[in-house]
Structure 1
Amino acid sequence: MSGIVQYVIVRGDLTKTMQWPVGAVIAQACHACTAVTHLFYNDEHTQAYLSDLDNMHKVILEAPDDKSLHELHSKLEESKVDHKLWIEQPENIPTCVVVKPYPKEVIQKYFKKFKLFKN
C-alpha cells in the first residue's frame, strides 16, 4: 500500500468560533471517512488502502471556514477527484471534505495551502 494516503479536511472555525466540542468535529470526519469508503469501495486505491489496515495513512488538515471548504470542494469536483463533502444534518452545516485514498503524488497538490488540524 506504499504511498497511498487519504486526506481529511475539517473546518477549524467549528471549534474556534462556533464552539463545537472537538469530539463532535472528529465524529464529522469519521462519518465522512465511512461515507467515502462506502462510495468508492470498489476503487483500486481504496482496496489497496484497505488491504493493509494496520498501516493506513490519513492526513487531517484544517480549512479555516465554510468558504474555504466549499472552494476546495469545487476544485476537487472540477478536477474529477473522488471525495465527499460531509454536511451535518439536520443543521445543514458543511463540516469536512474527505477524499478517497489516492497515491500521495497524485493528490497532495490539492492540499498545499492547508495546515494540519490543531485544536
Structure 2
Amino acid sequence: MRLPAGCAAPYGSMAAPGAAAAGLVQYVVLRGDLARSWPLGAAVAQACHAALAAVHAHRQHPDTSAYLEQGGAMRTVVLEAPDEAALMSLAETLKQHSVDHQVWTEQPENVATCLALRPYPKDQVHQHLKKFKLLK
C-alpha cells in the first residue's frame, strides 16, 4: 500500500526492512502568537530553522539517520504554543525528561520563536506534547 507523501505507516503494520523508521516523527512547536502576527514566510522560516537545528545537533543519533533516510516519507507534526512562556515551559519539561530538542532564538532580537525535537518514535514523546494543538 502506498501512502500519501508525509504519511507514515501505522504502528503494527507488516514489518519490512526499515519499517521501524516509519514510526518516527519530528515535532516542531511554533509560537502561535507570532504565527498570527508575523508574515507567514517569517513564521515558516522559524520552524525550518528549529527543525534543521534539531536534526543537525542530533545527526549522529540512529533515529535521526533513519528519519532522514525516509526522504519524501518523513513525517513532521507542527504544533502551536500560545506564547513564549508556554514554549519555554515545554523546553524545560523536555529537558527534565531528557528529550532531545533545540529552541530556536531569533537574533538579534533574542526572541525564542520555536522549538523542535529530533525525530522520535511518537510513543516516546507524545505525552509531553499532547496539550498542544496542531498549528492552524
Q: TM-score, normalised by structure 1?
A: 0.95
Are positions 1:79 and 2:97 aligned together?
yes
CA drift of 1:15 comes to: 3.2
In the TM superposition, structure 1's runs of 4+ consecutive aligned residues that sit over 2 Å from their partners are none
Q: Specify the code of the residue in structure 2 equivalent to 1:117.
A: L
- What does the per-residue CA deviation read over 1:71-93, in whole Å, with 9 as the maximum and x for residues that have no partner? 00000000110000000000000
Unaligned runs of 5+ in 2: 1-20
Task: Count residues with an aligned counterpart.
Answer: 116
**Kindly, what percent of the aligned residue pairs are identical?**
48
SS in 1 for 2:124: helix
* Aligned positions of 1:2-41 closer than 5 A: 2-16=22-36, 19-41=37-59
Secondary structure at the residue paired with 1:113? Answer: coil
Structure 2 residue 68 is the aligned partner of structure 1 residue 55: no
Alpha-carbon shift at residue 2 of structure 1 (Å): 1.7
Amino acid at match of 1:9: V
Q: Which amino acid aligns with 2:126?
A: Q
Equivalent-residue separation in structure 2 for 1:62 and 1:34 (angstroms) = 18
Distance between the aligned counterparts of 2:46 and 2:114, measured in 1?
A: 7
| Gap regions ≥5 residues in structure 1 | none
Q: Spell out, residue by residue over 1:37-89, the C-alpha distance to the aligned partner (whole angstroms, 9 max, x if none).
A: 11000101001101111100000000000110010000000011000000000
Letter in 1 for 2:34: L
**What secondary structure sits across from 2:87 in the alignment?**
helix
Structure 2 counterpart of 1:42? 60
Change (3 A) 1:72 1:53: same
Equivalent AA in structure 2 for residue 65 of structure 1: D
SS in 1 for 2:38: coil
Determine helix, strand or coil for the equivalent of 1:41: coil
**CA RMSD of the aligned region, Å?**
0.8
The reply to whether residue 95 of structure 1 matches residue 117 of structure 2 is no
